[in-house]
Amino acid sequence: MRFFVTAEHEKERLQYFASPEGRNDLYQYNQKERRTVLEVLEDFPSVQLPFEWLVQLVPPLKTRAFSISSSPLAHPKQVHLTVSVASWKTPYKRNRSGLCSTWLAELGPEERISIPVWFSRGSLPPPSPTLPLVLVVPGTGCAPFRAFVAERESQSTSEATAPILFFFGCRNEENDFLYRDFWLSHAQSGGVLSEEKGGGFFVAFSRDQPKKLYVQHKMEEESQRIWSLLSSGAAVYIAGSSTKMPTDVMSCIERIVAKEGVVPKDSAVRWLRALEKAGKYRVEAWS
Ligand SMILES: Cc1cc2nc3c(=O)[nH]c(=O)nc-3n(C[C@H](O)[C@H](O)[C@H](O)COP(=O)(O)OP(=O)(O)OC[C@H]3O[C@@H](n4cnc5c(N)ncnc54)[C@H](O)[C@@H]3O)c2cc1C
Ligand SMILES: NC(=O)c1ccc[n+]([C@@H]2O[C@H](COP(=O)([O-])OP(=O)(O)OC[C@H]3O[C@@H](n4cnc5c(N)ncnc54)[C@H](OP(=O)(O)O)[C@@H]3O)[C@@H](O)[C@H]2O)c1
């Protein structure tokens, strides 16, 4: 850009950014603030970058992965996604929003549009109908489990299915209790999340009271039921977008195994490692 800049003050700033002394400020300006190419060009309006240079310099868009949140049994020939619009504030308090999720959210419900997609195997394989499950889900992490619950519901009409204990966490009951009616209807009598079928649905609203309430708190309350299901061969599946969540949930399950199995902490840790090795402790997390 310095090569194509005409205004003197812009040239000085670009020279500073390209110098060893300007490295930290460049990092702050560029990476920390996540400026787009367009925003940078707008900050330096005298830069006359030839179009062919621009095309060569701008990287192609990255692909984005989304968990499939529908069951092929319940919705043949459809693929549903559950997408949270990523939004955050930069260190300089600029509002930012994610490119792909914002774009998807702006599409109208009736809009028909071609998007290139691909499919790849995720880290949460569909469980067999007879595998009891402990599902732990903060926020959009419920995407794959909506598919699991719908699949098990369809399977339960023709064969015996194992129970599911479902722990769901979100910020507010009012704003982001995703698929509320879906979970609640399956938790009613006879549903795959119902107590009658050995299952359960527990929800933690983190911001509806002064003190944070997370899925772990609900799990501690239900520790006996979790341990009883784990002892009968259940698998634990965890999904979500929080960076600290997977380790916090694992520590919580370690505490539950230690308390309810009446074993020392290190034995509980080994027990969970064995569960993981057997492919029965699985996490799909993104940040
Ligand atoms: C296996 C897998 C499954 C996934 N499943 C789902 C799903 O089911 N639903 C879903 O909504 N998403 C899912 N994701 C995440 C999804 O792929 C995208 O990353 C997400 O939608 C954001 O994309 P975007 O284009 O909107 O944001 P982008 O434009 O890519 O911006 C996101 C970028 O902003 C940064 N960022 C985000 N928040 C902050 C913050 N608070 N502070 C600082 N920087 C921040 C991140 O580092 C990231 O690089 C999944 C990811 C993986 C890997
Ligand atoms: N604008 C909005 O209203 C809004 C709402 C939802 C999502 N979003 C956007 O969508 C993105 C992803 O959203 P999401 O719904 O998947 O996730 P999320 O809302 O960021 O998190 C889901 C739940 O997990 C809780 N949580 C945070 N840390 C945890 C931990 N260590 N252990 C257990 N639970 C934990 C959160 O509580 P706390 O966050 O209260 O700590 C929240 O209740 C967000 O980063 C945000 O950009 C925006």
User: Does one domain contain both 143 and 45?
Assistant: no
Lowest mean pLDDT among 54-58, 65-69, 213-217, 283-287: 283-287
Q: Is 140 in the pocket of ligand 1 (CB under 6 A)?
A: yes
User: Does one domain contain both 249 and 156?
Assistant: yes
Q: Which residue's CA lies nearest to atom 41 of ligand 1?
A: 88
pLDDT of residue 245: 92
Cα 206 to averaged position of ligand 2 atoms, centre (Å):
9
User: Does one domain contain both 47 and 156?
Assistant: no
Residue 242 has pLDDT above 80, yes or no: no
pLDDT of residue 50: 94
Confidence band for 44, pLDDT divided at 50, 70 and 90? very high
In this predicted model, what pLDDT tens digit does every residue of 165-190 receive, in sequence order?
999 999 999 999 999 999 999 999 88
User: Does one domain contain both 24 and 161?
Assistant: no
User: Does one domain contain both 41 and 137?
Assistant: no
pLDDT of residue 236: 97
User: Does one domain contain both 150 and 48?
Assistant: no
CATH number for position 257: 3.40.50.80
Q: Which residue's CA lies nearest to atom 18 of ligand 2?
A: 139
Confidence band for 76, pLDDT divided at 50, 70 and 90? very high
Q: Is 65 within a domain?
A: no
Residue 273 has pLDDT above 80, yes or no: yes
Within a 10 A sphere around the Cβ of 172, how many other Cβ atoms? Answer: 11
Query: Measured between alpha carbons, how far is residue 156 from residues 46, 68, 83, 149, 198 in Å?
Result: 66, 21, 28, 10, 13
Confidence band for 221, pLDDT divided at 50, 70 and 90? very high
Confidence band for 287, pLDDT divided at 50, 70 and 90? confident
Q: Is 113 within a domain?
A: no
Q: Is 247 in the pocket of ligand 2 (CB under 6 A)?
A: no
Average pLDDT in the chain: 94
Ligand 2 atom index nearest CA of 140: 16
pLDDT of residue 92: 87
C-alpha span between 237 and 167 (Å, rounded)? 10
pLDDT of residue 190: 87
If you compute the radius of gyration of the chain from its CA atoms, what whole number of angstroms results? Answer: 24
Q: Is 65 in the pocket of ligand 1 (CB under 6 A)?
A: yes
11 contacts: CB under 8 Å, gap ≥ 6? 2, 5
Q: Percentage of the chain with pLDDT > 90?
A: 83
Q: Is 246 within a domain?
A: yes
User: Does one domain contain both 146 and 235?
Assistant: yes
Q: Is 224 within a domain?
A: yes
Q: Which of 33, 57, 81 is the last residue of a domain?
A: 57
Considering every ligand atom, which ligand is closest to the CA of 96? 1
Pocket test for ligand 2, best of 241, 283, 284 (most atoms within 8 A of CB): 241
Ligand 1 atom index nearest CA of 104: 26
Q: Which of 10, 33, 57 is the last residue of a domain?
A: 57
Number of domains in the chain: 2
Q: Is 24 within a domain?
A: yes
- φ, ψ of residue 68 to 5 degrees: the values are -75, 125
Amino acid at 189: S
Residue 18 has pLDDT above 80, yes or no: yes
Q: Is 127 within a domain?
A: no
pLDDT of residue 152: 96
Ligand 1 atom index nearest CA of 102: 26
pLDDT of residue 116: 87
Q: Is 98 within a domain?
A: no
Within a 10 A sphere around the Cβ of 38, how many other Cβ atoms? Answer: 9
User: Does one domain contain both 51 and 139?
Assistant: no
Confidence band for 241, pLDDT divided at 50, 70 and 90? confident
Print the domain residue range for 155: 133-285
Cα 262 to averaged position of ligand 1 atoms, centre (Å):
40
Q: Is 87 in the pocket of ligand 2 (CB under 6 A)?
A: yes
Q: Is 91 within a domain?
A: no
Cα 285 to averaged position of ligand 2 atoms, centre (Å):
13
pLDDT of residue 243: 81
Residue 214 has pLDDT above 90, yes or no: yes
User: Does one domain contain both 52 and 139?
Assistant: no
pLDDT of residue 57: 87
Q: Which of 13, 39, 57 is the last residue of a domain?
A: 57
Pocket test for ligand 1, best of 64, 92, 103, 107 (most atoms within 8 A of CB): 64
Q: Is 244 in the pocket of ligand 2 (CB under 6 A)?
A: yes
User: Does one domain contain both 266 and 152?
Assistant: yes
Burial zone of 125 (CB within 10 Å; 0-12 exposed, 13-18 middle, 19+ buried)? exposed
